[in-house]
Amino acid sequence: MALRACGLIIFRRHLIPKIDNSSIEFLLLQASDGIHHWTPPKGHVDPGENDLETALRETQEEAGIEAGQLTIIEGFRKDLNYVARGKPKTVIYWLAEVKDYNVEIRLSHEHQAYRWLSLEEACQLAQFEEMKAALKEGHQFLCSTAA
């Protein structure tokens, strides 16, 4: 059976776009263990939880951002399927915008650092092609809709 995890691709927007015309920044967290990879907050589904509840709980646990501080963007869901530690894994991501540009990030012991990054910077830090693709698709979705 495939492992299942859920998370949120969290972003914020600059009120005034930067010189390169990018107003969207993504939040990535750096893992404390293993290869110290950078990903959005995510985690395994607990019994009795639905997928979105898992994503919201994991975001609160790993980054200190509560559900009331976020707006889930309707119409975007990305399923990533890959092999982790020799087992198939599925991670489901939704897009979520922080309501306060200066929201406080409070990392759990599972992460050692966080960064707000442009799409290009986020793709440079994200080591896995599936994660890079998810970030690009999320960015494209945000730029092509009135989200």
Q: What is the 3-state secondary structure (H, E, C) of the chain?
A: CCEEEEEEEEEEECCCCCCCCCCEEEEEEEECCCCCCEECCEEECCCCCCHHHHHHHHHHHHHCCCHHHEEEEEEEEEEEEEEECCEEEEEEEEEEEECCCCCCCCCCCCEEEEEEECHHHHHHHCCCHHHHHHHHHHHHHHHHCCC
All structural domains of the chain with their residue ranges: 3-144
The pTM for the full model equals: 0.92
Residue 5: how many other CB atoms lie within 10 Å: 19
In this structure, what are the phi and psi dihedrals at residue 61, rounded to the nearest 5 degrees? Answer: -65, -45
Distance of alpha carbon 94 from alpha carbon 100, whole angstroms = 18
| Residue 1 confidence (pLDDT) | 62
3-144 to CATH, choices 3.40.228.10, 3.90.79.10, 3.20.20.80, 3.30.70.890? 3.90.79.10
User: Chunked in runs of 10, what are the mean pLDDT values of the chain (147 residues)?
Assistant: 89 73 88 89 95 98 98 96 87 97 95 96 93 96 79
Residue 103: how many other CB atoms lie within 10 Å: 17
Q: Which two tokens stand for residue 23?
A: 């107003």
